[in-house]
Structure 1
Amino acid sequence: MELIGTLWQYIQTRRLAKRFHTRQELACWQEKQVQKLLRYVLPRSPFYRERIGSDPLHGWKTISPIEKREMMEHFDLLNTAGIKRDEALRIAEEAEETRDFTPKIGEVTVGLSSGTSGSRGIFLVGPDERVRWAGAILAKALPGPLWEKQRVAFFLRANSNLYTSVKRKRLQFAFFDLLLSLEAHIAHLQQYQPTILVAPPSMLRLLAVAKQEGSLDIRPGKVISVAEVLDPIDEEVIREAFGGPVHQIYQCTEGFLAATCSHGTLHVNEDILVMEKEYLDEEKTRFHPIITDFSRYTQPMIRYRLNDILTERKDPCPCGSVFLALEQIEGRADDIFYFPSAKGADGSAERGEGLRPFFPDFVRRAVMTASQGIEEYIVRQKSPEHVEVSLVISSGYRREDVEEDVRRKLQREIERQGYAGPEIVFSPYQPPERGRKLRRVERMFQPDER
Structure 2
Amino acid sequence: MFDRLTVLRQMLGEDRLMLRDRAALERHQDRLAAEHLRWVAVHSPYTAQRFQRSGLSVGQWRELPPIGKSEMMANFDTLNTAGVRLNDVLELARRAEDSRDFSPTLFSPTLPGGLTVGLSSGTSGTQGAFLVSRAERLQWAGVVLRHLLPKWPADLLRRQRVAFVLRAEGQLYRSVGSSRLDFHFLDVLRPVAELAAELSAYRPTLLAGPPSVLRALLDAGATARPQRVVSVAEVLEDADKAALQHGFGPVVEVYQATEGLLALPCPHGKLHLNEAHIHFNFENVCGEPLEGSYLRPILTDLRRRAQPMIRHRLDDVLLLADDCSCGLSSRRIERIVGRQDDALNLPSVSGARITVWPDFVRAALNRVPDLREYRAEQVGAAALKIQLEPDAPALREAAERELSVIFERLGVGDVALDFGPLVPGLPGAKRRRVLGGKY
Q: TM-score, normalised by structure 2?
A: 0.93
**Equivalent position amino acid for 1:356 in 2:** I
Structure 1 residue 184 displacement after superposition: 1.6
Long gaps (5+) in structure 2:
108-113
User: Who is 1:408 aligned against?
Assistant: 401
What is the distance in 2 between the residues matched to 1:125 and 1:373? Answer: 43
SS at match of 2:349: coil
| Local SS of the residue matching 1:338 | strand
Partners of 1:194 and 1:21 in 2: CA distance: 32
One-letter amino acid of the counterpart of residue 304, structure 2: R
- Contact 1:239 1:246 survives alignment (8 Å): yes
Query: 2:97 aligned with 1:91, yes or no?
Result: no
| CA positional deviation for 1:166 | 4.5
The match for 2:101 is: 100
Q: Paired residues, what number?
A: 424
Quick one: percent identity of the two aligned structures?
40
SS in structure 1 opposite 2:42? Answer: coil
Offset at residue 384 of structure 1 (A)? 2.6
Using the size of structure 1 for normalisation, the TM-score is 0.90
Cα deviations across residues 61-98 of structure 1 (Å, max 9, x unaligned)? Answer: 11111111111111111011111111111111111111
Residues 1:446 and 2:438 aligned together: yes
Match of 1:280 among 281, 285, 306: 285
The alpha carbon displacement at 1:59 in A equals 2.2
Please state whether the residue corresponding to 1:387 is helix, strand or coil.
strand
Q: Give distance in 2, aligned partners of 1:70 and 1:281.
A: 23
Note the C-alpha offset of 1:55: 4.3
**Is the CA contact 1:389–1:426 (under 8 Å) kept in the aligned structure 2?**
yes
| Structure 2 residue 380 is the aligned partner of structure 1 residue 383 | yes
Distance 2:374 2:176 in 1: 35
Partner of 1:208: 218
SS, match of residue 114 in structure 1: coil
User: What is the DSSP-based 3-state SS (H/G/I as helix, E as strand, rest coil) of the residue aligned with 1:95?
Assistant: helix
Name the CA shift for 1:147/1:36 in 2 (closer, same or farther; >3 Å): farther
Query: Structure 1 residue 291: deviation in Å?
Result: 0.7
TM-aligned CA deviation for residue 121 of structure 1: 1.2
> Which range is displaced more, 383-392 or 32-41?
383-392
Contact map agreement 1:233 1:375 (CA 8 A) in 2 = no
In the other structure, the counterpart of 2:417 is 424
1:101 Cα deviation from its structure 2 partner: 0.7
Q: CA deviation at 1:264?
A: 2.3
Letter aligned with residue 377 of structure 2: R
Distance 1:250 1:187 in 2: 28
Q: CA-to-partner distance for each residue in 1:302-354, whole Å, 9 max, x for gaps?
A: 0111101111113x2111111110011111112111111214xxxxx4xxx3x
Distance in 2 (alpha carbons) for counterparts of 1:2 and 1:36: 25
SS of residue paired to 2:31: helix
Partner of 1:346: none
Deviation at 1:227, TM superposition (A): 0.5
Distance 2:426 2:388 in 1: 17
Aligned residue number for residue 124 of structure 2: 117
Which stretches of structure 1, 4 residues or more, deviate above 4 A after TM superposition?
none
Q: How does 1:138-287 map to 2 (within 5 A)?
A: 138-144=145-151, 145=153, 146-210=156-220, 215-242=221-248, 244-283=249-288, 285-287=293-295
Task: Check whether the contact 2:375–2:432 (CA below 8 A) recurs between aligned residues.
Answer: yes
CA distance in 2, matches of 1:233, 1:391: 16
Per-residue deviation, residues 35-79 of structure 1 (Å, max 9, x unmatched)? 111121111111111111364332211111111111111111101
User: Which structure 1 residue ranges, 5 or more long, are not aligned?
Assistant: 344-348
